[in-house]
Amino acid sequence: MSGDKHVLRAELRNEFRHRRRGLSESAQQTASQAVLNNLIETNLLDVRRIVAYLPNDGEVSLQPVIEYAWQQGIDVYLPVLHPFSPGNLLFCRFTPSSHMQPNRFGIPEPVIEVQDICPLASLDCIFTPLVAFDAHGNRMGMGGGFYDRTLAPIRRDGLNCQLIGVAHSCQQADLLPVQSWDIPLDKIVTEQQIYSL
């Protein structure tokens, strides 16, 4: 990878993480409710199985989306660090009675039960957190490559699973520097609007 691009990505990551961490508690709550409303209005939650995430580092909380999904009978899954495939994620069923434990980043995840794991091909929609996005659907994450690695088969095998980035509008960049392994998004939802690519 070119050194310049690597440095630029690291600088952008710092700036955009700082922005989202600077949002007030009330701005965070307003955003998470607005994201739910935007998804309902555009019928993006008329599906059977979704992957959500639990918020970290100023990310938009999907708690309202998760509760709405549970009310509607939509199955909710959360990313779990793969126990023996480093750098990859598993998607495990999340219910109000799931046993949770913190992973090595301190983020709670369901304790893995084999029958609760959902293969990528059976998921309708994956909501990904992100550090920054642009209007072309490019996504920058926290820098671990977890989503890029795990989601690569969606593009490679033409799976029918929508990738929807979830962000505060202040996380929009003009044009992100991307790498060959970055998996682009199909849609981005913010508290203000939905971008469809």
Quickly list DSSP for 26-61.
HHHHHHHHHHHHHHHHTTTT-SSEEE-----TTPPP
Site for ligand ATP in 18-47 (CB under 6 A): none
Q: What is the DSSP letter of 143?
A: S
The Cα–Cα gap between 79 and 90 comes to: 6
- Of 45-53, 58-66, 97-105, 176-184, the segment contacting ligand ATP by CB under 6 A is 176-184
Residue 149's identity, in one-letter code, is R
Question: How is the beta sheet containing 162-166 ordered, strand by strand?
Answer: 89-93, 75-81, 49-51, 125-128, 162-166, 187-189, 194-196
**Residue from the set 127, 146, 164, 168 that interacts with ligand ATP by CB under 6 A:** 146
Least distance to ligand ATP, CB of residue 144, Å:
4
Helices 25-41 and 63-72: crossing angle in degrees, nearest 10, is 40
Measured from the CB atom, the residue of 112 and 142 that comes closer to ligand ATP is 142
**Binding partner selected for residue 142 from ligand ATP, Mg ion, none, CB under the kind-specific 5 to 8 Å limit:** ligand ATP
Least distance to ligand ATP, CB of residue 49, Å:
21
Does 165 engage in binding with ligand ATP (CB under 6 A)? no
**Binding partner selected for residue 149 from Mg ion, ligand ATP, none, CB under the kind-specific 5 to 8 Å limit:** ligand ATP
Residue of minimal Cβ distance to Mg ion? 182
- Of 20-28, 73-81, 83-91, 142-150, the segment contacting Mg ion by CB under 5 A is 142-150
Least distance to ligand ATP, CB of residue 103, Å:
13
Does 82 engage in binding with ligand ATP (CB under 6 A)? no
Nearest to 169 by CA among 30, 11, 9, 1: 30
Nearest to 90 by CA among 102, 79, 75, 74: 79
Give the DSSP H or E segment for 147: helix 146-156
What residue ranges bind ligand ATP (CB under 6 A)?
140-149, 152, 179, 181-182
What residue ranges bind Mg ion (CB under 5 A)?
148, 182
